[in-house]
A and B are shown apart, each in its own frame.
Chain A
Amino acid sequence: MKKYLAVFKINLLNCLTYPAELMMRSATILLFMWIFFQLWHITFAASGSDIINGLSLHDTMWYLLLAETLELGRPRLARVISEQVKDGSIAYLLNKPYNFLIYQLSSGLGESLPRMGMLFVLGGALVWAMAGPPPDMVNWPVALVALAGAWLLHFCVNSLIGLSAFAVEEVAPFEWIYQKFVFILGGMLIPLDFYPAWLQTIAKSLPFAYMMYGPARLFVLPDPALFAQILVGQLLWLALLGGLLTLVFTRGMKRLAINGG
């Protein structure tokens, strides 16, 4: 466990060494949140109601902030792993005394945490100024638990896409399409509550809703039943995707051919 903690710390410190760069990279969230505010401010005004399907403009903006923080702050592991598979540098990671997947998890988390923190602070300041103060602090712990589950689900899918480089030449299209499914079925750009009922049912029966909608919705309108439902869903999908990831990794190792060094 100590070695993974060390990998986590190295990546964390690496990100924090250049705070100005971290801030500049995170500044994109300001653009997105500003545009979202323009869109939803006008949409709420046009609808003539302060509440649409249970969400106010304030709820919608903080929902979108958490969703954007997760999307922009999660590590692009698919790209990293697929490059390691394609250029053979995976060989240098496999001969070290650690588990490859847990190594990726630790390094990804070390990279992701400061980035997500900065995104939340910058975006949060703007959303606060435009839509009002953040949701009650009581909501935060449940949202954080769901956020951790969502991050792990992203990790599993991203790693699976990265490892698919064992079988296919180019993994980028898988990554793009996966991201777009998260956008739509995860409710990243529009909260799932605004979807037609039939689409909500489909979205909530797939893992994407647990990767984005779950934590974001709990952040603005938590309720115990929803929390339990999201937690159970995340655990089930983690068991399924985590098992699949282990299987694909084991199979991939058997296909791996390393020539020279």
Chain B
Amino acid sequence: MFREFKFLLSLWKTNLAAAMEYRAAFISQSIGMILNDAVYFVVWIIFFDRFPSIIGWQLTDMFIVFGISASAFGLAGLLFGNAFNLGDIIVKGRLDYYLSLPRPTLLHVLASRVVPSSFGDFLYGFISYIASGQFSLGGLGRFLVGVALATTVFLAFLVLVQSLAFWLGTGSIFTSMAINAIITFAIYPITLFNQTAKVILFLVVPAAFMGAVPAGFVKGFSWSVLGLMLFGAAGFLTLAILVFHAGLRRYESGSAIQTEV
């Protein structure tokens, strides 16, 4: 376990060094993403200015939900950037490279890329939390726990959806739909949805674990909510690893020559 963690740290250091080779692009994309997120959030400020409460859901809740979702999305892109194009990697036979090395395939492939703009998302999440007016040191601790567990669920969901590429032979359409679905559901007030939709948001497209549930935890500590988040993260992660490895048994490639940089 410790060996794999050291391996991950080395990968992240290498990724960061590679990203810093294009420092201007990294910084401009990060700042651009912070602005992008901030400008997008203005929509909610306008909405809640006109309609102050949606079944008990207010602008403060939106700041926290948006903060958790943005930071989780950003952390996934920063540390496991290939989670966003795993389907393409499978379809194009680019897993060959990772399979030939003595390291856990899924971990290696996911952590082999950094998405530069993700740093902007990650930072914006904290800005959004601070702007919510609910900032406290305890809250910050819960925010960090919430982001970590939301990232785990988000990554697991991406792996699950993109592992379908082992069976279907295509990945990009499902990936963009899946990302759209989980992000969109996560940043809308959960009070909008009826019981059936809520079951879907916990079990099928686990957006509740990426938005409303951790946001509730940030607002006030609760053992049951923490337990629910841990259970959700562990459950989805286990399922994702099992499905990926089941798919890996079906994997075949044309031995095309690939270069992994």
Which A residues lie at the B interface, using CB under 8 A?
21, 24-25, 27-28, 31-32, 35, 38-39, 42-43, 46-47, 168-170, 172-174, 176-177, 179-181, 183-184, 189-190, 194-196, 199
User: Beyond A31-B181, A46-B51: 4 further Cβ-contacts under 8 Å?
Assistant: A28-B176, A173-B36, A174-B32, A199-B46
**In whole angstroms, how far apart are the Cα atoms of A179 and B43 in the complex?**
13
Give Cα distance in the complex from A35 to B180, angstroms.
12
The 8 closest A-B pairs by CB, nearest first: A173-B32, A180-B39, A176-B36, A38-B192, A170-B25, A24-B173, A180-B40, A189-B43
Q: Is the CB of B46 within 8 A of A47?
A: no
Q: Are B184 and A172 in contact (CB under 8 A)?
A: no
The answer to whether A176 touches B33 (Cβ under 8 A) is yes
* CB-based contact A196/B49 at 8 Å: yes
Report Cα–Cα, A195/B51, bound state, in Å: 11
Most chain B beta-carbon neighbours within 10 Å: one of A172, A173, A180, A189: A173
- Is B177 within 8 A of A39, CB to CB? no
Residues of B within 8 A of A39 (CB): 54, 188-189, 192
User: A122: shortest Cβ distance to chain B, in Å?
Assistant: 13
* Least CB distance, A199 to chain B, in whole angstroms: 7
Q: B242 within 8 Å of A by Cβ?
A: no
Q: Does B167 contact A (CB under 8 A)?
A: no
| Closest residue on chain A to residue B197 by CB atoms | A38
The residues of B with any CB-CB pair to A shorter than 8 Å are 22, 24-25, 28-29, 31-33, 35-36, 39-40, 42-43, 46-47, 49-51, 53-55, 117, 173, 176-177, 180-181, 184-185, 188-189, 191-193, 197
Q: How far is the CA of A5 from the CA of B223 in the complex (A)?
A: 65
For the complex formed, measure the closest distance between the CB of A211 and the CB atoms of chain B, giving whole angstroms. 16
Asked if A28 and B180 sit within 8 Å, CB to CB, the answer is yes
The reply to whether B54 and A180 contact each other, CB–CB distance below 8 Å, is: no
Say whether B25 contacts A190, CB under 8 Å.
no
- A180 to B40 CA separation, bound complex (whole angstroms): 6
Contact A42 B184 (CB under 8 A): no
A179→B55 CA distance, assembly (Å): 29
Can you identify 16 A-B contacts, CB atoms within 8 angstroms? A24-B173, A25-B176, A27-B177, A28-B176, A35-B192, A43-B51, A46-B54, A173-B29, A177-B36, A177-B39, A184-B40, A184-B43, A189-B43, A190-B46, A190-B50, A196-B49
Asked if residues A170 and B29 are in contact (CB atoms below 8 Å), the reply is yes
Tell me if B192 and A25 are in contact (CB < 8 A).
Answer: no
In the assembled complex, the CB of B31 is this many whole angstroms from the nearest CB of chain A, namely 7
- CB closest chain-B residue, reference A43: B51
- B24, B51, B188, B189: the one within 8 Å of A169 (CB): B24
From B24, B46, B197, name the one whose CB has the most chain A CB atoms within 10 angstroms: B46
Say whether chain A's binding surface is mostly helix, strand, loop, or mixed. helix
In the complex, the chain B residue whose C-beta lies closest to that of A24 is B173
**Residue from the set B22, B47, B185, B189 with the largest chain A CB neighbour count within 10 Å:** B47
Q: How far, in whole Å, are A35 and B193 apart by their CA atoms in the complex?
A: 9
- Rounded to whole angstroms, the CA-CA distance of A47 and B47 in the bound complex is 13
A9 to chain B, nearest CB (A): 25
* Minimum C-beta distance from A95 to chain B (A): 29
Instruction: Evaluate contact between A21 and B173: CB separation under 8 angstroms.
Output: yes
Nearest-neighbour CB distance to chain B for A49, whole angstroms, equals 12
State whether A181 and B24 are in contact (beta carbons under 8 Å apart), knowing that A28-B177, A170-B29 are contacts in the complex.
no
Question: Do residues B54 and A169 form an inter-chain contact, with CB atoms below 8 A?
Answer: no
Q: Within the assembled complex, what's the spacing in Å between the Cα atoms of A196 and B49? A: 9
Assess whether B32 is in contact with A42, with CB atoms less than 8 Å apart.
no
Residues of B within 8 A of A43 (CB): 51, 54
Query: A47–B177 contact, CB under 8 A?
Result: no
Q: Which residues of B have CB within 8 Å of A184?
A: 39-40, 42-43, 46
A38 to B49, CA, bound (A): 19
**Contacts known (A31-B184, A35-B185, A170-B28); A47 close to B39, Cβ less than 8 A:** no
Cross-chain contact A194 with B50 (CB below 8 angstroms): yes
* Identity of the chain B residue whose Cβ is nearest the Cβ of A196 in the assembled complex: B49
B30 to chain A, nearest CB (A): 9
Q: From A47, which residue of chain B is reached at the shortest CB distance?
A: B51
Complex Cα gap A35–B182 (Å): 12
CA distance A25 to B35 in the complex (A): 28
A189 to B40, CA, bound (A): 10
A172, B33: Cα distance in complex, Å = 9
The answer to whether residues A173 and B43 also contact, given A39-B188, A39-B192, A42-B54 and a CB cut-off of 8 A, is: no
Contact check, B32 vs A177: say whether CB atoms are below 8 A apart: yes
Q: How far is the CB of A93 from chain B (nearest CB, A)?
A: 25
